[in-house]
């Protein structure tokens, strides 16, 4: 019976979908399928297909959709017949609450996107940092370092070692000019980096190597079967130390912008309620 019904649907929609215009929209909606008191209309399934889909594929797509829709409606109807009224009421409230949240969140986000001032100057960030220093304690070690990953058989390896360790202005320019022969490198030693990031870049490290990485003003040469890793650790901050402002600034910006966002939403709620009362759209009856 099920196979027969599917073949019937396939044949029916193959006939309907032949040609370029599979569905012709009309003012009075055309019913395609009924399940008890629920109806699926022709325009409900127009979006399922396009002019690049063959009539055969379109018929299969529509047939599968109809079967899924009908099965879902039958399950819903059966649930409404068999589930306790109290549970149905609870589900109804959950659905209504979810709908309300979707609408209100979408609207407030649109207003925030339009009206929120996202510009923050350094002074605002610094002021927040100074007033809330106790909230910015490191939960991991940080490093300032420069490093180069180069093939083990490189001819100018000794020269590169000298330059990355000494690192005067001429050395810096020379290393940048050599960068094409490096497998990986970072010469910006003014930025704080998480130790995990360093471990991932350098590769397998022994416990001793990891300990050496946490020593300030320290040059290291590490090797594996193919590569040499040249690392100069310029500065170190340990776990539980005060996070520097430049490291915490990204988090502070998020905090400050979120505060502005929440203030904007509160102002929106206040204004919309005030306007509703003024326009006699909101009344409280005693």
Q: Is 124 a residue whose pLDDT tops 80?
A: yes
Handedness of CA 128, 133, 135, 140 (dihedral sign): positive
Q: How confident is the model at residue 118 (pLDDT cuts 50, 70, 90)?
A: very high
Whether residue 20 is predicted with pLDDT greater than 60 in this model: the reply is no
CB contact set of 112 (below 8 Å; sequence gap of 6+): 261, 264, 265
For tokens 């000298």, name the residue: 162
How many domains does the structure of the chain reveal? 3
In a domain, 145, yes or no: yes
Residues 184 and 230 occupy one common structural domain? yes
Q: Looking at the structure, tell me whether residues 254 and 195 fall in a common domain.
A: no
Domain containing 220 equals 138-237
pLDDT-derived band at 142 (thresholds 50, 70, 90) equals: very high
Any domain includes 168: yes
pLDDT above 90 as % of the chain: 73
Tell me if 18 is assigned to some domain: yes
pLDDT at 154 over 60: yes
- Phi and psi at residue 143, in whole multiples of 5°? -130, 150
User: Is 93 part of any domain?
Assistant: no
pLDDT in tens, 90-117: 999 999 999 999 999 999 999 999 999 9
Mean pLDDT of the chain: 89
The yes-or-no verdict on residue 160 having pLDDT over 50 is yes
Q: Which residue has the tokens 């409900």?
A: 44
Which residues lie below 8 Å from residue 67, measured CB to CB, with a gap of 6+? 6, 9
Q: Does 105 map to a domain?
A: no
Per mean pLDDT, which range of 30-39, 176-185, 198-207 is the poorest?
Answer: 198-207
Which residues are within 8 A (CB) of 91 and not within 5 positions of it... i.e. 6 or more apart?
none
> What is the SS3 assignment for 65-128?
HHHHHHHHHHHHHHHHHHCCHHHHHHHHHHHHHHHHHHHHHHHHHHHHHHHCCCCCCHHHHHHH
Residue range 179-185: mean pLDDT, rounded: 94
Q: Which of 217, 109, 228 is nearest to 167 (CA)?
A: 217
pLDDT at 209: 84
| Long-range contact set of residues 42-50: C-beta below 8 Å, sequence gap at least 24 | 46/22, 49/17, 49/22
- Residue-level pLDDT at 21: 43
Same domain, 43 and 25: yes
d(CA 178, CA 172): 10
Q: Residue 47 above 90 pLDDT?
A: no
Please report whether residue 108 resides in a domain.
no
CA-CA distance, 202 to 220, in Å (whole number)?
Answer: 11
Q: What is the pLDDT of residue 286?
A: 79
Examine residue 264 and state whether it is found in any structural domain, yes or no. yes
Assess if residue 211 is contained within a domain: yes
Asked whether residue 250 falls in the same domain as residue 177, the answer is no
Pair 231, 216: CB distance under 8 Å: no
Residue 86: phi and psi, rounded to 5, are -65, -40
């Amino acid at each position: 019976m099920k196979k027969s019904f599917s073949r019937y649907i396939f044949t029916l929609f193959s006939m309907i979908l032949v040609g370029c215009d599979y569905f012709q929209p009309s003012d009075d909606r055309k019913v395609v399928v009924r399940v008890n008191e629920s109806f699926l209309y022709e325009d409900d399934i127009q979006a399922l297909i396009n002019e690049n889909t063959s009539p055969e594929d379109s018929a299969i797509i529509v047939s599968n959709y109809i079967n899924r829709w009908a099965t879902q409606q039958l399950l819903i109807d059966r649930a409404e017949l068999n589930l306790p009224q109290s549970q149905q009421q609870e589900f109804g409230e959950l659905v209504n609450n979810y709908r309300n949240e979707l609408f209100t969140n979408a609207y407030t986000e649109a207003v925030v996107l339009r009206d929120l001032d996202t510009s923050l100057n350094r002074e605002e960030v610094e002021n927040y940092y100074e007033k809330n220093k106790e909230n910015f304690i490191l939960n991991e070690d940080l490093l300032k370092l420069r490093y180069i990953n180069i093939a083990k058989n490189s001819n100018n390896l000794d020269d590169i070692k000298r330059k990355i360790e000494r690192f005067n202005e001429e050395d810096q320019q020379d290393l940048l000019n050599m960068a094409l022969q490096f497998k990986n490198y970072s010469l910006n030693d003014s930025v704080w980096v998480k130790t995990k990031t360093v471990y991932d870049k350098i590769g397998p490290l022994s416990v001793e190597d990891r300990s050496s990485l946490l020593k300030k003003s320290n040059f290291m040469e590490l090797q594996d079967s193919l590569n040499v890793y040249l690392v100069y650790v310029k500065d170190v901050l340990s776990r539980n130390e005060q996070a520097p402002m430049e490291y915490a600034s990204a988090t502070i910006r998020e905090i400050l912008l979120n505060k502005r966002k929440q203030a904007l939403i509160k102002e929106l709620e206040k204004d919309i309620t005030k306007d509703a009362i003024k326009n006699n759209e909101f009344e409280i009856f005693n």
